Structure 1
Amino acid sequence: MTAMNVLGTPLQACSFDPLTGFLRDGCCSADAQDRGTHLVCARVTQEFLDFSLARGNDLVTPRPAWRFAGLKPGDRWCLCALRWLEALEAGAAPPVVLEATNRLVLGILSLAQLRQHAHPGVAAP
């Protein structure tokens, strides 16, 4: 079955460089092992990266053993739905790529919240 995005169309890839997704397939897909629900495709900002680091989730430091070069502002990345919501409530939510955000997130976030923070335009992953 094809995964769908929050707009009701087939889920597009979020990013292949850096390679994202809980399944490391470039998409914000999930399986039963994904307790963080990495379903929100966002274009990260410095403000969000700082916010995440302050919350104990370092997305900036390279981790060669995990083939992770670290994120920089402008990178697209599959975020945990609750971390994005936490950032939203703190005024630090990064823009969302609706076409690459999994519709399963609608059990946690509203489409209105996501649309309000939609990234203007979609660039290739």
Structure 2
Amino acid sequence: MTPEDSVNVLGAPLGLCGVDPVTGFFRDGHCNTCAADQGSHTVCAVVTAEFLAFSKYVGNDLSTPRPEYGFAGLNPGDSWCLCAARFLQAHDEGCAPQINLKATHKRALDIVSLEVLRTHAV
């Protein structure tokens, strides 16, 4: 598997999202994607307690450590590549976190409009 073009939603090179913890479908710190990334982990978010609670409520617990997967669990303030559809769902429910547009992959635009993304920009 190789990532698609590393271009952000602004048309520039894709910036780094986070390395502590290391995020991304490829676990390279970037919200790169490819055909195998069925969840489209393309939105670079700065997670909040409210978003983490929402995500857990809808079935994706991102805050509980999972050592068997080398995952320490997220804390408010951590940067993480979210699935674009989950971000849009959180937006629709009023609990979307802020995002880093420079580190959000252009493929997120297949699911979330740039206007919606801009309303949550850091």
Task: Give the TM-score range, shorter chain.
Answer: over 0.9
Alignment of 1:29-108 (within 5 A): 29-108=32-111
- Offset, 1:32: 1.4
TM-score of the two chains, using structure 1 as the length reference: 0.92
Aligned length: 119
The residue type equivalent to 1:58 in the other structure is D
Which is worse superposed, 1-10 or 19-28?
A: 1-10
**In the aligned structure 2, how far is the partner of 1:2 from the partner of 1:94?**
25
- Offset, 1:93: 0.3
4+ long deviations beyond 6 Å: none
The residue type equivalent to 2:104 in the other structure is T
Unaligned runs of 5+ in 1: 120-125
**In the aligned structure 1, how far is the partner of 2:107 from the partner of 2:55?**
22
**In the aligned structure 2, how far is the partner of 1:13 from the partner of 1:67?**
20
TM-score of the two chains, using structure 2 as the length reference: 0.94
**In the aligned structure 1, how far is the partner of 2:11 from the partner of 2:35?**
22
Unaligned runs of 5+ in 2: none
- Offset, 1:108: 1.0
Q: Deviations over 1:55-82 (max 9, x none)?
A: 0100011111111100000000000000
Q: Deviations over 1:89-110 (max 9, x none)?
A: 0001000100000011111111
